[in-house]
């Protein structure tokens, strides 16, 4: 499994730098967009709800590398507020006009009590956390690797939160066509 994920990570590195495609039993999803307010004349899959912390025109790229029953998700951003910490999680639904439209965090083991606040379920081993801190130019990067994959149709976006860790206010959302992982 480790050798397979090293190959998947290498594939993601190629894709993140604009390289070619990956063949074999690895499935790759790559999505990128510029953030725009939900009311923008030209719609975007990347919606900003707080233009001070996620300015219109800031860029996001998400790559998912799914192999067997494992999953790697990487995120790159550019144009955000400099030297600031952001929390990011994969969410259940696509983005909409309202921050809450993306639903709750995707959980590998679903908490039977919703909304989920139990640390046994709300943690980076059971959810995809992509927290990062931007550099002096507003750029950031994060990656999360798990030995489990997404269930079909249950992971549809990444949400940028005001705080790292469990959650916080929703600043922005990016709809991503995540692929379910073969088991």
Q: Provide the whole-model pTM.
A: 0.86
Query: Which residue did the predictor score with more confidence, 141 or 17?
Result: 141
Query: pLDDT for 19-78, tens place per residue?
Result: 444 445 889 999 999 999 999 999 999 999 999 999 999 999 999 999 888 999 999 999
Pick the CATH number of 2-175 from 3.30.465.10, 2.60.40.200, 2.40.50.100, 3.30.200.20: 2.60.40.200
- Write down the pLDDT at residue 16: 43
Mean local confidence (pLDDT), 84-96: 97
Q: What residues does each domain of the chain span?
A: 2-175
Query: pLDDT for 152-181, tens place per residue?
Result: 999 999 999 999 987 789 999 999 999 997
Residues 6+ away with beta carbon under 8 Å from 105:
89, 90, 91, 92, 116, 122, 127, 167
């Amino acid at each position: 499994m480790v050798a397979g994920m090293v190959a998947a990570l290498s594939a993601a590195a190629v894709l993140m730098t604009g390289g070619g495609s990956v063949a074999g039993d690895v499935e790759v999803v790559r999505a990128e967009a510029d953030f725009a307010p939900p009311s923008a004349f030209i719609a975007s899959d990347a919606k900003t709800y707080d233009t001070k912390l996620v300015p219109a025109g800031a860029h996001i790229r998400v790559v998912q590398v799914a192999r067997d029953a494992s999953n790697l998700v990487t995120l790159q951003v550019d144009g955000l507020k400099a030297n600031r910490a952001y929390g990011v999680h994969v969410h259940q639904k696509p983005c909409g006009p309202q921050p809450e439209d993306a639903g709750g965090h995707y959980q590998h083991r679903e908490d039977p009590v919703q909304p989920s606040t139990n640390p046994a379920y709300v943690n980076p081993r059971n959810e995809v956390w992509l927290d990062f801190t931007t550099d002096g130019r507003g750029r950031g990067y994060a990656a999360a690797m798990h030995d489990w994959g997404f269930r079909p149709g249950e992971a549809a976006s990444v949400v940028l939160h005001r705080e790292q860790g469990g959650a916080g206010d929703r600043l922005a959302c990016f709809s991503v066509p995540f692929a379910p992982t073969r088991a």
